[in-house]
Amino acid sequence: MPPPSLLPTLLALLALPTTSLAHSHLANILINGQLYHGFDPRPNQSNNPSRVGWSNTATDDGFVSPGNYSAASIICHVSGASPPAHAPVRAGDRVHVQWNGWPVGHVGPVLSYLAPCGGLAGSDTGCAGVDKTALRWTKVDDSRPVMELKAGAGGNGGVPGERWATDVMIAANNSWQVGIPGGLRTGPYVLRHEAIALHFAGKKDGAQNYPLCVNLWVEGDEKQDQMVMDGFDARAFYKADDPGVLLNVTAGIKTYTVPGPTVAVGATPVPYSQQIASLFKVEGTPVVVTRSTETVPWTAGVTATGAPKIKGSEGRRVEGRD
């Protein structure tokens, strides 16, 4: 939180028409102290072949606009394509995702969704081979933004208040912990983690969605009650005039309606008070899914069976006007 004397400067900066400020992408995925890699879309980055983050072609680290809410790019960002590797996690664990920084003025909610890949066409290789438009999502965290009036904020609750999830995220070293529900069945899942920046949302098509996807292999606990998944198509989550998408965040708002579906029964979102930085850079070993139900540790050679043909069939099958 900047000192109050900086607020007018910040607000003036936010009012500038430029959108060339650095945006962001998911850089790191941490699970029980093990590090897995996200995807860096910027030009000439060398991305780890064992990464679990989906690739995209947002080379400016940029966003998806409300005008594309019903297009394929809202699913897993522009031209989102799955890598072969999955990060192993137990149902009930937390997945700690870290952005490559987050601009202070980009206030808004931080949302997380899960979609099972099991049973879909192409899921012999887990989420590596599935058509992203076939993924059906369940919201597991909406970050519950709390727009309380702050002492000294002159009545302008949430301008740019520390109660926005993005401010909590910045304070936690640009990271967010996602609770993986204990009732998930064993299998491959895509985690769709999304920040929505609202600094230009006062005008139509001004919101900025940053939807980034990560492959997980979840080990379920058979003794738990199985969670009922909701199963929404990401292209139906949001509308350009939703009250949580088209709003002026500098106009002293006191409540905020999170866009999209509600958090599912059985989800285990991590509260603000437990959103803390915790990075341990011990390399994890991701897995590759074979024959739908088995996994083997990722090695360079395994990609031959697990990798989708990103430039060829996968691109044709799922892209459209993305």
Ligand X SMILES: *[C@@H]1O[C@H](CO)[C@@H](O)[C@H](O)[C@H]1NC(C)=O
Residues that bind ligand X (CB under 6 A): 28, 43-44, 65, 67-68, 73, 78, 98, 173, 202-203, 248, 250-251, 277, 279
Work out how close the CB of 227 gets to ligand X at its nearest, in angstroms, rounded to a whole number: 31
Work out how close the CB of 202 gets to ligand X at its nearest, in angstroms, rounded to a whole number: 3
Cβ-based neighbour number of residue 291 at 10 Å: 8
55 touches, from Cu ion, ligand X, none (C-beta below 5 to 8 Å by class): none
Cβ-based neighbour number of residue 120 at 10 Å: 18
By beta-carbon proximity to ligand X, the closer residue of 105 and 266 is 105
251 touches, from ligand X, Cu ion, none (C-beta below 5 to 8 Å by class): ligand X
* Closest by Cα among 18, 162, 171 to 102: 171
- In the block, residue with structure tokens 């030009």: 43
By beta-carbon proximity to ligand X, the closer residue of 103 and 202 is 202
121 touches, from Cu ion, ligand X, none (C-beta below 5 to 8 Å by class): none
23 touches, from Cu ion, ligand X, none (C-beta below 5 to 8 Å by class): Cu ion
Helices (H) and strands (E) in the chain, counts: 5, 12
DSSP string for residues in 260-299? SSPPPTT--PPPGGG-------EEP--EEEETTTEEEE--
DSSP string for residues in 14-52? HHSS---S----EEEEEETTEEEE----STT----TT--
- Subset of 4-43 contacting Cu ion (CB under 5 A): 23
Work out how close the CB of 15 gets to ligand X at its nearest, in angstroms, rounded to a whole number: 8
Q: What backbone phi and psi angles, to 5 degrees, belong to 272?
A: -50, -45
Nearest residue relative to ligand X (C-beta)? 67
By beta-carbon proximity to ligand X, the closer residue of 125 and 275 is 275
Q: Does residue 163 touch Cu ion according to CB under 5 A? A: no
Work out how close the CB of 276 gets to ligand X at its nearest, in angstroms, rounded to a whole number: 9
By beta-carbon proximity to Cu ion, the closer residue of 23 and 86 is 23
Work out how close the CB of 195 gets to Cu ion at its nearest, in angstroms, rounded to a whole number: 10
Q: What is the DSSP letter of 159?
A: S
- Bridge partners, residue 113, by sequence: 139, 192
**Distance of alpha carbon 175 from alpha carbon 178, whole angstroms:** 10
173 touches, from Cu ion, ligand X, none (C-beta below 5 to 8 Å by class): ligand X
**Distance of alpha carbon 80 from alpha carbon 234, whole angstroms:** 13
By beta-carbon proximity to ligand X, the closer residue of 3 and 43 is 43
215 touches, from Cu ion, ligand X, none (C-beta below 5 to 8 Å by class): none
Residues that bind Cu ion (CB under 5 A): 23
